[in-house]
Amino acid sequence: MNSSSHLSPPKRISPSRSRVPAHYADDIEQMLISAPRIRSRVAEMAKVIAGDYQGKRLVVVALLNGTILFLADLIRHFEFPLSMDLIGVSSYRGGTSSGELEYTKRLKLDLRDQHVLVVDDILDTGKTLCAVKSELAKQRPASLRTCVLLDKPEGRKTECEADYVGFVVPHLFVVGYGLDYDERYRNLPFVGVLRPHVYGAPAGSKS
Ligand code: 5GP
Ligand code: MG
């Protein structure tokens, strides 16, 4: 498959003082990306992806759990038949080893000769996406591309980059729109930064 992607470069998001809805204000310090902004960028991404896969049968493989909202919103724009499967992975954090993954849910679909788009929530070190890509590549898909909503380039420890990127975010721990802290905040309709007290740091410290 040729690389004919015309997605406009992802906007670099800087921490702003956008108003956090009152009912989240105790836990969320800043709103980074508002719901309407996410909505329009996801629509833009879907349009470009749909164009790139025109006439092809797409297999979407999404990583649990952080992609749930992004995935649901993205694929709803596609007006062509596609197959979808989910994989669950958790990386061995803290180790020096090369992004070895533990699978909590394995893929059911056979990817051989298929056009595969891997969807993840956020690209940080790149270890997860790199490891998943090389695992899926073993099945010999016809093409294999990656799509992430968020990218934190300052965190990168691998050569892994995504083909489609929604937003470039600062090197902060973000939650919302599928992303969690301790399994909370996935349901937030926006992406925000947690207040330090939520993860036990003294007030005024930085994440
Ligand atoms: P990587 O392997 O690229 O370091 O990490 C990717 C995974 O780490 C993401 O799929 C996500 O689950 C988690 N992650 C990385 N940065 C963040 C963040 O800022 N917030 C949340 N909630 N998860 C993150
Ligand atoms: Mg994840």
**124 tagged catalytic:** yes
- In ligand 1, the atom with minimum distance to the C-alpha of 91 is 2
pLDDT at 38 over 70: yes
- Where are the extended beta strands (E) located within the chain? 11-12, 28-33, 58-64, 82-91, 101-105, 115-123, 143-151, 164-168, 174-175, 191-194
Average pLDDT, stretch 5-13? 85
Cβ partners under 8 Å of residue 9, min gap 6: none
User: What's the rounded mean pLDDT across residues 3-27?
Assistant: 81
Does the pLDDT of residue 36 top 50, yes or no?
A: yes
Distance 32 CA to ligand 2 centre (A): 18
Give the model's pLDDT for residue 199. 84
Look at residue 42 and tell me whether its pLDDT is greater than 50.
yes
Q: In one letter, which amino acid is 108?
A: K
- What are the tokens at 69? 């909202």
Question: Is the pLDDT at 20 greater than 80, yes or no?
Answer: yes
Ligand 1 centroid to residue 63 C-alpha, Å: 11
Could you tell me if 129 and 61 are in contact, meaning their C-beta atoms sit under 8 angstroms apart? no
CA 101 to centroid of ligand 1, rounded, Å: 14
- Tell the burial category of 97 from Cβ atoms under 10 Å away from its Cβ (0-12, 13-18, 19+): exposed
Atom 16 (ligand 1): residue with closest C-alpha?
A: 124
Which residue among 97, 119, 124 is best mutated to probe the pocket of ligand 1, counting the most ligand atoms within 8 A of its Cβ?
124
In this structure, the strands spanning 58-64 and 82-91 are parallel
Question: Candidates 71, 86, 122: which one to mutate for ligand 1, based on the most atoms within 8 Å of Cβ?
Answer: 122
pLDDT in tens, 161-181: 999 999 999 999 999 999 999
Percentage of the chain exceeding pLDDT 70 = 88
In this prediction, residues 118-139 reach a mean pLDDT of 96
Residue 148 in contact with residue 130, Cβ under 8 Å?
no
Q: Is a pLDDT exceeding 60 seen at residue 98? A: no
Point out which residues pair with 119 in neighbouring strands.
Answer: 62, 147
Q: Is residue 159 a contact partner of residue 166, using CB atoms and an 8 Å limit?
A: no
The arrangement of strands across the sheet holding 82-91 comes to: 11-12, 164-168, 143-151, 115-123, 58-64, 82-91, 101-105
- pLDDT: which is higher, 4 or 56: 56
Q: Residues lining ligand 1, CB < 6 A?
A: 66, 91, 120-129, 173-175, 179-181
Query: Nearest CA to 12 among 175, 190, 150, 177?
Result: 150
pLDDT of residue 99: 54
Instruction: Supply the pLDDT for residue 205.
Output: 55
Residue 96 has a pLDDT of: 43
Please state, as a whole number, how many other Cβ atoms lie within 10 Å of the Cβ of residue 196.
16
Distance 129 CA to ligand 2 centre (A): 9
Q: pLDDT tens digits for 66-95?
A: 999 999 999 999 999 999 999 999 865 544
What's the predicted TM-score (pTM) here?
0.92
pLDDT, greater one: 132 or 97: 132
For residue 13, the model assigns a pLDDT of 87
CA dihedral 107, 112, 117, 120 (to 10 degrees): 30
Q: Which of 124, 151, 180, 182 is catalytic?
A: 124
DSSP state of 47: H
